[in-house]
């Protein structure tokens, strides 16, 4: 969906019952000062949840933003989203202000499927915006007995967030430009063994980091790559 529309078109989109569902905020938790987890309640019966799919939320008169569902339970009608409150954008401000009992509409999830269950080893890279995808894929990785590894690049104040979210098999890296450096990436443990040669690589988060990681993988002929940049410096509403 386009992230910016004229107000009349945004009004029509938000009212479109074929894609938007009424939801209510059940509870909000700040996992860190800039990571907010929100549980919503509503009728999820029409929603199709796939790893990599995202829902859109209207965050202003004219703008929509994409967010991944971290957890869902169709029977109980609840879904969780983990938001990066980065403070630079209209979406971030809107989400920061959401509180219990607030009502809004959330779209049915759609987008790019990122999980290929036929591959035994799964490698997942991302940043704060990828934590929801990580939480949604973890139960599947466990259930299907995959070997898996998460790499996160996170702001210093978020280094303990994966632990607080119950993630496992993860390594946290600083954001100090490391994933913008192909040489540095190619020296990571995942490249020091042939074990990960045929893994499924799921790369999301910052566009530049995703592109650099992808290029490094391609140059080493690592085949199965699913990637999608979630945000780019200076660009509104990817």
Ligand X SMILES: Cc1cc2nc3c(=O)[nH]c(=O)nc-3n(C[C@H](O)[C@H](O)[C@H](O)COP(=O)(O)OP(=O)(O)OC[C@H]3O[C@@H](n4cnc5c(N)ncnc54)[C@H](O)[C@@H]3O)c2cc1C
Binding interface with ligand X (CB under 6 A)? 54, 59, 65-68, 81-84, 86, 88-92, 111, 128-129, 132, 228, 230-238
Go through 11-39 and write b for each residue having 16 or more CB atoms within 10 A of its CB, e for each that does not: eebbeeeebbbebebbebeebbebbbbbb
Closer residue to ligand X in complex, CB, 42/91: 91
Closer residue to ligand X in complex, CB, 54/138: 54
Per the CB < 8 A criterion, the answer to whether 31 and 165 are in contact is yes
Report, in Å, the least distance between residue 124 CB and ligand X: 14
Nearest-5° angle of CA 218, CA 174, CA 70? 75
Closer residue to ligand X in complex, CB, 20/59: 59
Report, in Å, the least distance between residue 229 CB and ligand X: 7
Report, in Å, the least distance between residue 88 CB and ligand X: 3
Cβ burial, residue 99 (10 Å; 0-12/13-18/19+):
exposed
Report, in Å, the least distance between residue 167 CB and ligand X: 14
Report, in Å, the least distance between residue 205 CB and ligand X: 8
Picking from 85, 93, 94, the residue whose alpha carbon sits closest to that of residue 32 is 85
Closer residue to ligand X in complex, CB, 141/190: 141
CA dihedral 170→234→64→66, nearest 10 degrees, is -20
Which residue's Cβ lies closest to ligand X?
89
Task: Tell me how far apart the alpha carbons of residues 2 and 189 are, in angstroms, rounded to a whole number.
Answer: 38
Strands 69-73 and 78-84: antiparallel
Closer residue to ligand X in complex, CB, 42/128: 128
Q: What DSSP string runs through 129-174?
A: GGHHHHHHHHHHHHHTT-EEEEEEEE-GGGTTHHHHTT--SEEEEE
Closer residue to ligand X in complex, CB, 26/207: 207
Nearest-5° angle of CA 202, CA 45, CA 137? 20
Report, in Å, the least distance between residue 204 CB and ligand X: 7
Report, in Å, the least distance between residue 89 CB and ligand X: 2
Closer residue to ligand X in complex, CB, 132/196: 132
């Amino acid at each position: 969906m386009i992230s910016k529309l004229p107000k009349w078109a945004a009004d029509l989109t938000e009212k479109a019952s074929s894609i938007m569902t009424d939801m209510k905020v059940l509870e909000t938790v700040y996992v860190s000062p800039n990571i907010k987890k929100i549980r919503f309640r509503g009728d999820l019966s029409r929603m199709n949840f796939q790893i990599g799919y995202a829902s859109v939320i209207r965050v202003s008169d004219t703008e929509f933003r994409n967010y991944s569902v971290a957890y869902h339970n169709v029977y109980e009608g609840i879904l969780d989203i983990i938001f990066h409150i980065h403070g630079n954008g209209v979406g971030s401000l809107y989400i920061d202000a959401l509180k219990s009992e607030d009502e809004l509409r959330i779209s049915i999830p759609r987008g790019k499927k990122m999980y290929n269950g036929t591959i035994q080893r799964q490698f997942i890279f991302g940043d704060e915006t990828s934590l929801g995808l990580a939480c949604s894929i973890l139960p599947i990785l466990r259930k299907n007995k995959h070997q898996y590894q998460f790499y996160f690049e996170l702001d210093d104040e978020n280094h303990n967030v994966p632990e607080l979210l119950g993630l496992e098999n993860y390594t946290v890296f600083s954001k100090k430009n490391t994933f913008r450096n192909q040489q540095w990436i190619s020296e990571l443990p995942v490249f020091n063994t042939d074990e990960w040669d045929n893994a499924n690589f799921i790369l999301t988060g910052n566009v530049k980091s995703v592109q650099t990681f992808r290029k490094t993988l391609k140059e080493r002929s690592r085949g199965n790559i699913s990637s999608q940049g979630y945000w780019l410096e200076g660009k509104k509403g990817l």
